């Protein structure tokens, strides 16, 4: 099983996803600022994975301090907390950093060495919990997949987007492990091609049949009966079920509705934002125009044109058939079923 991000020998180690599929490289990092850059540049990506990265960032901030002055030590950790601002849409990042900081404040009276050890343990706990949660989602979600299904997924919500196993791809993996024969249809996912580069690589590594399609081919694929289900991940979910995910998810959901195809979202409870009543409350990150005008460093668009490059869109809850979590499968009305998660 792919291990996307982990802690070893006082270093954060992660697969540099900007190099896939051409090159597989595990990077070692001991600097919280460099880890923040890795998250910003998508070397580490996927909501759960960057949450784990944020937790490890607090660890690196603590380990970077070599002195004995507690005030200076606390300042180093609080400076590391800024990693939570690396990506604004994925709520798992702020969730994990907040959990780490709350744990830090609860043990701040201990010695510096003890605090460092406990922060490492808490970050490792977050990673281990994520792996377990993904498998639970797979077990709850795979009954929604039938043998013979063609399953469309968008972007990459697999092992590469988590600690291991995956959210949306975890549901598909669980279906395959249960003996179901399925074929995955992977949108290429412009502008950064996470579907083409990452999802196809990951599924091929696992021997799961996958067909790559351009983003604009989803409709005809559905119309021709190639696709029976859609399963995607999420970066943030509002209390009414509106879901932010990689740009292009919204249009896939609309197409699924038009073609009477179930559209499922798989996400851990840490992806739900109690402060977001609707999708209008979810901040949408906008990224550099070069991501649209260039592919592989080569310009593909006319120079000097205006570019709109939101990294995410929000799918209204009315297009979502079910939301798969580690506590079970949620049904509409989502205001009620999501509320129960926090009661």
- What would the two tokens of residue 304 be? 């000097």
Query: Parallel, antiparallel, or unpaired: how do β-strands 229-232 and 312-315 relate?
Result: unpaired
62: region left, alpha or beta (phi > 0 left; psi from -120 to 50 alpha)? alpha
pLDDT of amino acid 228: 98
Q: What is the DSSP string of 281-324?
A: GS---B--THHHHEETTEE-S-TT-----BSEEEE-GGG-SEEE
- Please report which confidence band the pLDDT of residue 254 belongs to, taking 50, 70 and 90 as the band edges: very high
State how far the Cα of 108 lies from the Cα of 115, in Å rounded to an integer: 7
- What would the two tokens of residue 83 be? 């990693």
H or E element in which residue 125 lies: helix 112-141
Query: Parallel, antiparallel, or unpaired: how do β-strands 298-299 and 294-295 relate?
Result: antiparallel
- Please report which confidence band the pLDDT of residue 1 belongs to, taking 50, 70 and 90 as the band edges: confident
Q: Is 123 helix (H, G, I), strand (E, B) or coil?
A: helix
The percentage of residues in the chain with a pLDDT greater than 90, rounded to a whole number, is 98
Closest CA to 58 of 9, 103, 13, 110: 103
> What average pLDDT does range 174-197 have in this prediction?
98
| Domains of the chain and CATH, by start | 5-135 (1.20.120.420), 137-342 (3.40.50.10470)
Q: List the catalytic residues.
A: 235
- Please report which confidence band the pLDDT of residue 343 belongs to, taking 50, 70 and 90 as the band edges: confident
Residue 230 β-bridge partners? 152, 263
Residue 298's CB is within 10 A of a number of other CB atoms, namely 7
> What average pLDDT does range 309-319 have in this prediction?
98
- Please report which confidence band the pLDDT of residue 342 belongs to, taking 50, 70 and 90 as the band edges: confident
Residue 317's CB is within 10 A of a number of other CB atoms, namely 23
Q: What is the DSSP string of 159-196?
A: GGGSSSSBSHHHHHHHHHHTT---EEEEE--TTTTHII
State how far the Cα of 285 lies from the Cα of 194, in Å rounded to an integer: 17
pLDDT for 17-59, tens place per residue? 999 999 999 999 999 999 999 999 999 999 999 999 999 999 9
Distances (CA, A) of 135 to 129, 149, 206, 212, 254: 10, 21, 16, 25, 28
Burial of 65 (0-12, 13-18, 19+ CB in 10 A): buried
- What would the two tokens of residue 4 be? 């996307």
Whether residue 47 contacts residue 233, with contact meaning beta carbons closer than 8 Å, is answered with yes
pTM above 0.85, yes or no: yes
Distances (CA, A) of 224 to 154, 193, 220, 221, 262: 19, 24, 6, 5, 16
Extract long-range pairs of 99-102: CB within 8 Å, 24+ residues apart: 99/55, 99/126, 100/54, 100/55, 100/58, 100/59, 100/126, 101/58, 101/77
Cβ contacts of 117 within 8 Å, gap of 6 or more: none
Rg (CA), the chain: 20
pLDDT of amino acid 112: 98
Angle subtended by helix axes 168-177 and 112-141, to nearest 10? 60
pLDDT of amino acid 146: 98
- What would the two tokens of residue 146 be? 């039938």
In the DSSP assignment, the letter for residue 198 is I
pLDDT of amino acid 324: 98
């Amino acid at each position: 099983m792919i291990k996307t991000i982990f802690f070893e020998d006082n270093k954060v180690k992660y697969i540099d996803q900007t190099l896939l599929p051409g090159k597989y490289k595990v990077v070692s990092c001991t600097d919280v600022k460099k880890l923040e850059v890795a998250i910003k540049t998508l070397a580490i990506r996927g909501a759960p994975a960057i949450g784990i990265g944020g937790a490890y960032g607090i660890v690196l901030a603590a380990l970077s301090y070599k002195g004995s002055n507690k005030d200076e030590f606390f300042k180093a950790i609080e400076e590391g907390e800024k990693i939570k601002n690396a990506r604004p849409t994925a709520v798992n990042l702020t969730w994990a950093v907040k959990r780490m900081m709350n744990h830090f404040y609860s043990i701040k009276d201990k010695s510096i060495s003890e605090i460092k050890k406990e922060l490492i343990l808490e970050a490792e706990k977050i990673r281990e919990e994520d792996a377990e949660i993904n498998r639970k989602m797979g077990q709850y979600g795979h009954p929604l997949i039938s043998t013979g299904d063609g399953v469309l997924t968008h972007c990459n919500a697999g092992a590469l987007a988590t600690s291991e196993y995956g959210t949306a791809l975890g549901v598909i993996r669980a279906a395959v492990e249960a003996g179901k024969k399925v074929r995955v249809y992977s949108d290429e996912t412009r502008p950064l091609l996470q579907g083409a580069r990452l999802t196809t690589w990951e599924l091929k590594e696992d021997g799961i049949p996958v067909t790559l399609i351009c983003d604009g081919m989803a409709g005809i694929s559905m119309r021709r009966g190639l696709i029976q289900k859609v399963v995607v991940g999420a970066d943030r979910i509002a209390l009414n079920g509106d879901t932010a995910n990689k740009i292009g998810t919204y249009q896939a959901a609309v197409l699924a509705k038009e073609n009477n195809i179930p559209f499922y979202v798989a996400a851990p409870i840490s992806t739900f934002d109690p402060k977001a009543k609707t999708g209008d409350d979810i901040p949408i990150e906008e990224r550099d125009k070069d991501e649209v005008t260039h592919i592989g460093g080569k310009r593909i668009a006319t120079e000097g044109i205006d570019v709109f490059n939101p990294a995410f869109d929000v799918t209204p809850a009315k297009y979502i058939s079910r939301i798969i979590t580690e506590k079970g499968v949620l049904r509409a009305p989502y205001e009620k079923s999501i509320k129960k998660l926090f009661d």
